[in-house]
């Protein structure tokens, strides 16, 4: 099949590369000429395990190319995916200007029957909006169909998630369009669900909001655990054995970041309100999440008797492991609170440091976890990268000024660290009374 994918961001590039790998002819379109150039040279503008190899292979075998020419690419293709950004406006509502622009350009270039598939995360009703824009701008009365095909891939495992999706949702009112998209996805042999347009649009937000809700829920439970001497890790584990609850996304910690959950929950609250319904459920999910970095820094400050001139080392900056993405990363807020209270900050992340340097150029960036620990009064685990799992804590203890460990992701065994002489604080993991006063 001849496919155009408009918007070579995370979703667009991974989708394009995977469709090419399945044997389709794919054109990736982006307005950024540098990005287009990099893609054509086999360089991915994002850090995503496995993507470089897949891109290079499909470029070499001439199944994929990138261009800035949307009209030209659209004319050549039967299926056009829209995968452009929908950044939030100040009030939380997604800004659809890029989706609108693409729809206009597709309309103007329409030269035969096309299926326009929307993969960008958009509020319910956007499919109809795209249809109207194309109708208004088409120069000849060619037919077309609009399909909603939400994307569920996660950063850091985007290629895997695209090859093995849990489900493929195809929302359209026209069986002819549905059949074509089913054919496109058939080689993946994954469960497919065909719905109408608004149903598919809601599935995406409802899924992300529910996952965010699970995280805020377990974080609220973690706060209670801390007050009463309970361990949230065990609470979550026991809850997770119930298949009605499930074990995933019950990891208490610093909360959710990234380019999706915070933005999507805000957007969903906005949509719900727009249709005259009560958004307070979603607002509470966000409020619990927003409070977490502040609460966490307070714990560090209490332990160190204030943060002025104390040195705090951060392990991990990315919003989660296996990505260099720091959008809405908890590290940004933690850093802000630490600096506001007068701390000196040292940090290390395997790939996200250049991105963070653009926001906080003046903190000390280190080459390893051990360098971060040098002279630190507290060490803070922010992102649970694999390389932080098996650190040599004996060595770290000797490097630090005071062996205080704040585990923002409950990565470590509290007993082991306490035995090694650390003051250990985990989220929702009460200290046994005997070690209450630390060392
Ligand atoms: C999320 C969804 O998981 C994807 O299905 C969806 O396609 C994507 O948003 C999107 O809408 O584009 P992503 O933002 O890449 O994917 O990251 P997740 O792995 O879902 O993690 C989000 C945040 O939640 C991270 O900051 C992570 O540390 C945090 N988290 C996750 C927790 O605090 N606890 C958990 O138990 C799980």
Q: At what angle do helices 197-228 and 232-240 cross, to 10 degrees?
A: 140
Q: What pLDDT is attached to residue 156?
A: 87
What is the atom index within ligand 1 of the atom nearest the CA of 384? 28
Q: Convert the pLDDT of each residue in 249-275 to its tens digit.
A: 999 999 999 999 999 999 999 999 999
Whether residue 438 has pLDDT greater than 50: no
> Which segments of 18-154 are extended strands (E)?
25-29, 64-67, 79-82, 114-118, 144-148
Q: What pLDDT is attached to residue 48?
A: 87
How far is the C-alpha of 267 from the C-alpha of 94, rounded, in Å?
A: 6
Identify the residue whose C-alpha is closest to ligand 1 atom 20. Answer: 154
Spacing, Cα 402 to ligand 1 middle (Å): 33
Q: What pLDDT is attached to residue 126?
A: 96
Q: What pLDDT is attached to residue 47?
A: 83
Identify the residue whose C-alpha is closest to ligand 1 atom 28. Answer: 320
- Tracing tokens 């970041």 back to the chain, one arrives at 257
Q: Which long-range contacts (CB under 8 A, 24 or more apart) does 127-132 make?
A: 127/171, 127/197, 127/198, 127/200, 127/201, 128/197, 129/96, 129/99, 129/100, 129/103, 130/82, 130/99, 130/103
What is the atom index within ligand 1 of the atom nearest the CA of 255? 33
The CA distances from residue 253 to 89, 215, 223, 292, in Å, are 28, 9, 10, 8
How far is the C-alpha of 177 from the C-alpha of 115, rounded, in Å?
A: 7
How far is the C-alpha of 351 from the C-alpha of 47, rounded, in Å?
A: 8
Q: What pLDDT is attached to residue 433?
A: 54
The CA distances from residue 357 to 5, 68, 183, 270, in Å, are 32, 30, 45, 33
Q: What pLDDT is attached to residue 312?
A: 98
Q: Convert the pLDDT of each residue in 415-437 to its tens digit.
A: 999 999 999 999 999 775 554 44
Identify the residue whose C-alpha is closest to ligand 1 atom 25. Answer: 256
Residue 411's pLDDT band, with cuts at 50, 70 and 90, is very high
How far is the C-alpha of 138 from the C-alpha of 220, rounded, in Å?
A: 51
- Average pLDDT score, the chain: 95
pLDDT over 70 percentage in the chain: 98
Cα 132 from chain centroid (whole Å): 31
pLDDT mean over 210-225:
98
Nearest to 322 by CA among 161, 170, 202: 161
pLDDT mean over 180-207:
97
Residue 86's pLDDT band, with cuts at 50, 70 and 90, is very high
Residues in Cβ contact with 253 at an 8 Å cutoff, skipping those fewer than 6 apart: 219, 292, 408, 409, 410, 427
What's the distance, Cα to Cα, between the start and end of the chain in Å? Answer: 66
Name residue 314's beta-bridge partners.
347, 380
pLDDT over 90 percentage in the chain: 94
Spacing, Cα 204 to ligand 1 middle (Å): 13
pLDDT mean over 194-204:
97
Residue 137, CB-side half-sphere exposure with 13 Å CA sphere? 18
The preferred substitution site among 203, 260, 381 for testing ligand 1, maximizing ligand atoms within 8 Å of CB, is: 260
How far is the C-alpha of 403 from the C-alpha of 25, rounded, in Å?
A: 57
pLDDT mean over 177-184:
97
Whether residue 225 has pLDDT greater than 50: yes
Q: What angle do CA 425, 427, 428 make, to 5 degrees?
A: 110
Does the pTM surpass 0.85? The reply is yes
Spacing, Cα 11 to ligand 1 middle (Å): 14
Q: Is the CB of 74 under 6 A from ligand 1?
A: no
Nearest to 206 by CA among 121, 328, 288: 121
Whether residue 113 has pLDDT greater than 70: yes
Q: What pLDDT is attached to residue 432?
A: 59
Whether residue 64 has pLDDT greater than 60: yes
Whether residue 53 has pLDDT greater than 60: yes
Q: Is the CB of 152 under 6 A from ligand 1?
A: yes
pLDDT mean over 12-38:
97
260 is catalytic: yes
How far is the C-alpha of 243 from the C-alpha of 365, rounded, in Å?
A: 43
Identify the residue whose C-alpha is closest to ligand 1 atom 31. Answer: 249
Q: What pLDDT is attached to residue 439?
A: 41
How far is the C-alpha of 175 from the C-alpha of 427, rounded, in Å?
A: 50
Q: Convert the pLDDT of each residue in 325-376 to its tens digit.
A: 999 999 999 999 999 999 999 999 999 999 999 999 999 999 999 999 999 9
How far is the C-alpha of 210 from the C-alpha of 281, rounded, in Å?
A: 11
Q: What pLDDT is attached to residue 131?
A: 97
The H-assigned helical ranges of 275-350 are: 280-303, 330-340
């Amino acid at each position: 099949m001849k496919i155009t994918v408009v918007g070579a961001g995370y979703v667009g590039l991974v989708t394009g590369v995977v469709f090419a790998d399945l044997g389709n002819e794919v054109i990736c379109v982006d307005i950024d000429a540098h990005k287009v150039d990099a893609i054509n040279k086999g360089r991915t503008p994002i850090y995503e395990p496995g993507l470089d190899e897949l891109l290079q292979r499909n470029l070499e075998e001439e199944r994929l190319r990138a261009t800035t020419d949307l009209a030209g690419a659209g004319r050549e293709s039967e299926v056009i995916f829209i995968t452009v950004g929908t950044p939030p406006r100040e009030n939380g509502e997604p800004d659809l200007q890029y989706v609108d622009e693409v729809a206009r350009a597709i309309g103007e270039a329409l030269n035969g029957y096309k299926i326009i598939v929307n993969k960008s995360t958009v509020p319910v009703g956007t499919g109809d909006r795209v249809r109207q824009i194309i109708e208004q701008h088409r120069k000849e009365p060619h037919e077309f169909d609009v399909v909603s095909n939400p994307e569920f891939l996660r950063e850091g495992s985007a290629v895997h998630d695209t090859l093995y999706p849990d489900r493929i949702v195809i929302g359209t009112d026209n069986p002819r369009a549905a059949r074509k998209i089913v054919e496109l996805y058939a080689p993946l042999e994954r469960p497919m669900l065909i719905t109408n347009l608004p149903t598919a649009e809601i599935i995406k937000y409802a899924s992300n909001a529910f996952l965010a809700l699970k995280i805020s829920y377990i974080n609220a439970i973690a706060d209670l655990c801390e007050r009463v001497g309970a361990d949230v890790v065990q609470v979550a584990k026991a809850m997770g054995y119930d298949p009605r609850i499930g074990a995933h996304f019950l990891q208490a910690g610093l909360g959710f970041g990234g380019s999706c959950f915070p933005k999507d929950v805000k957007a969903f609250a906005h949509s719900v309100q727009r249709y005259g319904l009560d958004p307070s459920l979603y607002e509470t999910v966000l409020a619990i999440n927003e409070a977490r970095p502040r609460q966490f820094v307070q714990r560090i400050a209490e332990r160190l008797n204030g943060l002025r001139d104390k040195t705090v080392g951060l392990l991990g900056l990315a919003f989660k492991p296996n990505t260099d993405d720091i959008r809405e990363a908890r590290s940004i807020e933690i850093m802000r609170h630490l600096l506001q209270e007068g701390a000196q900050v040292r940090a290390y992340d395997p790939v996200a440091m250049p991105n963070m340097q653009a926001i906080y150029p003046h903190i000390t960036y280190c080459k390893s976890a051990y360098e971060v620990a040098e002279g630190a009064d507290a060490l803070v685990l922010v992102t649970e990268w694999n390389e932080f799992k098996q650190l040599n804590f004996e060595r770290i203890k000797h490097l630090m000024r005071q062996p205080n460990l704040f585990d923002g992701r409950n990565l470590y065994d509290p007993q082991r660290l306490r035995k090694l002489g650390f003051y250990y604080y985990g989220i929702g993991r009460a200290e046994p009374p005997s070690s209450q006063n630390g060392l």
